Amino acid sequence: MKPSMSSFDADREPLPGWMIEALRAPATSRADSRARIMQQVGALPVPRRVALPLSAAGGSRWRRRGALSGIGSVLLTAMLTLMVTVRSGNEAALAARVQPEAIVLGDSTVPVRGPDSLALVLRGKFLDTLYVVEYVVRGRGVQSVSVRREAARPRDLAAPARLARVSATEWRTRALVPREARQVAFVVNDIELAPVPLRAL
Amino acid sequence: MPPLDVTPTDATLVRQVLAGHTEAFAALVDRYHAACLRVATNLLGNPDDAEDVVQDSFVRAYRHLGSYQERDKFGAWLTRIVVNQCRTRASREARYVPFDHERPAADAGVLADRLSAPPDVEQRERAAELRHALAQLGPEQREAVVLRFGEEMSYEEMAALTGVGVSALKMRVQRACARLRTLLSEQLFS
Least confident range from A10-14, A22-26, B145-149, B169-173: namely: A10-14
CA-to-CA separations, B34 to A124, B30, B146, in angstroms, rounded: 87, 8, 15
The answer to whether B177 and B145 have CB atoms below 8 angstroms apart is yes
Do the Cβ atoms of A27 and B25 come within 8 Å?
Answer: no
Distance between A65 CA and the closest CA of chain B, angstroms: 20
pTM of the model: 0.54
Contact present, A114 and A155 (Cβ < 8 Å): yes
**What's the confidence (pLDDT) of residue A29?**
85
Q: Which of A19, A34, A38 to mutate to test the interface with B (most CBs of B within 10 A)?
A: A19
Task: Quote the pLDDT of residue B100.
Answer: 46
Q: What is the pLDDT of residue A82?
A: 85
Q: What is the mean pLDDT of chain B?
A: 82
The residue that leads in pLDDT, B2 or A18, is A18
B181 near B189, Cβ under 8 Å?
A: yes
Rg of chain A over Cα atoms, rounded to whole angstroms, equals 37
User: Residue B109: what pLDDT?
Assistant: 42
CB within 8 Å: A18 and B58: no
CA angle B141, B147, B150 (to 5 degrees): 110
- The amino acid present at B51, given as its one-letter code, is E
How far apart CA A46 and CA A179 sit, in angstroms, is 76
Q: State the average pLDDT over residues B154-159.
A: 92
Is the model more confident about A199 or about B51?
A: B51
Q: Residues B5-17: what's their mean pLDDT?
A: 86
**CB-based contact B66 A42, cutoff 8 Å:** no
Instruction: Name which residue leads in pLDDT, A146 or B5.
Output: A146
In A, minimum Cα distance to B170 occurs at A14
Interface of B with A in 75-94 (CB under 8 A): none
pLDDT of residue A8: 43
Q: What is the model's pLDDT at position A69?
A: 64
Question: Between A28 and A63, where is the model more confident?
Answer: A28
Average pLDDT, stretch A39-63? 70
pLDDT band at B4 (very low <50, low <70, confident <90, very high): low
Which one is predicted more confidently, A3 or A144? A144
pLDDT for residue A158: 62
Per the CB < 8 Å rule, is B62 touching A44?
Answer: yes
The answer to whether the beta carbons of residues B99 and B45 sit under 8 Å apart is: yes
CA distance A144 to A148: 13
Do residues B72 and B54 lie in contact, with contact meaning Cβ atoms separated by under 8 Å? no
* pLDDT tens digits for range A130-186: 888 899 999 888 888 888 876 655 555 566 788 888 888 899 988 888 888 888 888
How confident is the model over A35-40, as a mean pLDDT? 93
Residues 2-41 of chain B whose Cβ lies under 8 A from any Cβ of chain A: 17-18, 20, 22, 25-26, 29-30, 33-34, 37-38, 40-41
Chain B, 131-160: which have a CB under 8 Å from a chain A CB? 145-146, 148-150, 152, 154
Residues A74-129 pLDDT 10s: 888 888 988 887 777 777 778 888 889 998 888 888 888 777 778 878 888 788 88
pLDDT at A150 (0 to 100): 65
Q: Do residue B145 and residue A36 have CB atoms under 8 angstroms apart?
A: no
The count of C-alpha atoms lying within 13 angstroms of the C-alpha of A105, restricted to the half-sphere facing its C-beta, is: 11
Q: Predicted ipTM?
A: 0.77
Distance from CA of B2 to the nearest CA of A (A): 31
**B94-114 pLDDT, tens digit each:** 655 544 444 444 444 443 443
Is B174 a residue whose pLDDT tops 80? yes
Determine the longest span between alpha carbons in chain A, in angstroms. 101
Predicted confidence band of residue B36 (pLDDT cuts 50, 70, 90): very high
